Amino acid sequence: MQPNVIALQETHLNPCDKLKIPNYTPYRTDRTTHRGGGTALLVKNSIDHHPTPIASTSFENTTVILDLPNNNNISITSIYRPPHGRINTQELDRLFSQSSKAIVVGDYNAKHAAWSVGRSNTNGSIIHDHIANNNLVLLAPLEPTHFPFHHPSSSTLDFGILKNISSGDATSINDLSSNHNPVAFEINVNASLASPAKKVNITNWTIFCEIIYNRIPGNPKMNNIADVDDCIRQFTCNITTAVNLATKSRVIAGPFRQLPSFIVDKIKLKNRFRKLYQQTFYPPYKRKAYKLQREIHEDIVNFDNNRWLETIQGINPEDNSLYEMNRKLSKKFIPTPPILDTDGMKYTPLGKANAFRHSLENSFQVNPEPYCNSHIKKVNRSISNYFHNLHNTSQPELVSPQEVISLIKKLNPRKATGPDGVSNKALRMLTLNAVTHLTKIFNKCLALHHF
């Protein structure tokens, strides 16, 4: 059984690193001051939720609120407490104040006899007293979770604290080679998880351009290959961050379109074959995917036709269903205004159609084929001189911002993103300083022969 939520600590991720698991939405808080640390939460796509950033100097944390029915929300926090320093209970309270029910799990780096073997430490006593004084529930595994590589003792540093949730179960899983065991939590929240609403992401490209204009310098400094790689990472991060900040989700009202299970199974199988082909380029996978695509299209057409037939057969003039269907299908006639043609105003549909026909015929005439012997000779002479004077050089021809802009304009904005997560639409909306920045990267790669 797949977990509904996955909490990670000490992710050691940089802002440009990817964190993606199929069927999960990732949220993360990366440590940007120095190496190490970092927390993340991955929530199942089938659960309606929203992130809630919480500022803290005592805990590194990532918090998400699950939107349950009847406004019965639960906040879930993945925290990492560095081993040095004293825990601030006020910041710990802030993690529990986001909703009436809260679950805070992670690496506390705190030891106490209530959940760990061996000696207690100061932070363990602080957390133990805080749990007892605030009517919280401790949820810790019976087995140790931390096994130091260079020390024989083991302890329990990874556990959970619950607010307004009566009980749960925690198990330390000894399946990985890390010095920290993962912990599986089973918590009954006494509520069924809400199904996600249909949402569409809308990007305000004006805000995107403003963010790009303020964040990306037009003349980056790059002296070596390491600088180029770092500049590329920063450029990618700035674009993805700008897209996220300029994008809002809007809920679409209306029922879901439920396809039959056999069509859904075919869609899953088709996607599996398509992914296999993309990974292996094995032609039979491609043929099977195309064959399934045709079958899916025919099945959906038949399914829609059958639904429409059932709807038509279910119309009854006695229960106003005939009136409702007529109101949905009928459209108000909007008269078109008269059109001015070369010989006067046209009022009838036939006259308007002829006016359009005459206008299009006059606009789209076949151009005469250009032919000029002197121009052809001049072009041939220029080409011959270019190849005659061509010589090898160590310095390649550099590209200009105009060339980059012309190439970007040719990108199809409807294509899916690549591994970097930058869409073609975002590239087409880059401001001039960002295009100049990108041109500098291209030219530096050419100059350093770094590809």
- Going from N- to C-terminal start, the domains of the chain cover 5-187, 261-330, 332-365
- Over 60: is that where the pLDDT of 186 sits? yes
Read off the pLDDT band of 205 (50, 70, 90). very high
Number of Cβ within 10 Å of residue 65's Cβ equals 19
Most confident of 216-230, 239-253, 323-337, 360-374: 216-230
- Structure confidence at residue 394 (pLDDT): 54
Reported as half-sphere exposure (CB side, CA atoms, 13 A), residue 173 has a value of: 8
Spatial contact of 76 and 64, defined as CB atoms under 8 Å apart: yes
Tell me the β-bridge partners of 137: 162
Least confident range of 208-212, 223-227, 252-256, 348-352: 252-256
Separation between Cα atoms, residue 354 and residue 32, nearest integer Å: 68
Spatial contact of 65 and 50, defined as CB atoms under 8 Å apart: yes
Kindly report the pTM of this predicted structure. 0.48
Positive or negative torsion for Cα 307, 199, 270, 21: negative
Strand order of the β-sheet with 137-139 is: 49-51, 60-66, 74-80, 101-107, 158-163, 137-139
Alpha helices in 164-282, H assignment, sequence order: 205-215, 225-246, 261-280
Tell me the β-bridge partners of 346: 339
Mean per-residue pLDDT, 216-240 = 86
Note the pLDDT tens digit of each residue in 273-319. 988 888 888 889 989 999 999 999 999 999 999 988 988 888 887 77
- Over 50: is that where the pLDDT of 193 sits? no
Separation between Cα atoms, residue 111 and residue 124, nearest integer Å: 5
- Select from 59, 25, 11, 72 the least CA-distant residue to 161: 59
Note the pLDDT tens digit of each residue in 396-413. 678 899 999 999 999 998
- Select from 258, 342, 367, 250 the least CA-distant residue to 303: 258
Reported as half-sphere exposure (CB side, CA atoms, 13 A), residue 423 has a value of: 15
**CB proximity list for 219: less than 8 A, separation 6 or greater:** 436, 437, 440
Read off the pLDDT band of 218 (50, 70, 90). confident
What CATH number does the domain located at 5-187 have? 3.60.10.10
Spatial contact of 187 and 177, defined as CB atoms under 8 Å apart: no
Least confident range of 6-10, 282-286, 386-390, 421-425: 386-390
Spatial contact of 42 and 34, defined as CB atoms under 8 Å apart: no
- Over 70: is that where the pLDDT of 368 sits? no
**CB proximity list for 386: less than 8 A, separation 6 or greater:** none
**Residue carrying structure tokens 């020390």:** 151
- Structure confidence at residue 192 (pLDDT): 47
- Over 50: is that where the pLDDT of 420 sits? yes
Note the pLDDT tens digit of each residue in 91-138. 888 888 888 889 999 999 899 888 888 788 888 899 988 888 888 888
- Over 80: is that where the pLDDT of 65 sits? yes
Separation between Cα atoms, residue 446 and residue 222, nearest integer Å: 13
Read off the pLDDT band of 425 (50, 70, 90). very high
Question: Pairing between strand 24-29 and 39-44?
Answer: antiparallel
Separation between Cα atoms, residue 120 and residue 111, nearest integer Å: 5
Read off the pLDDT band of 254 (50, 70, 90). low
- Over 50: is that where the pLDDT of 256 sits? yes
Q: How far is CA 114 from the centre of its chain?
A: 41
Least confident range of 67-76, 240-249, 268-277: 67-76
Positive or negative torsion for Cα 148, 153, 157, 159: positive
- Structure confidence at residue 148 (pLDDT): 81
- Over 90: is that where the pLDDT of 15 sits? no
- Structure confidence at residue 352 (pLDDT): 86
Least confident range of 12-21, 231-240, 249-258: 249-258
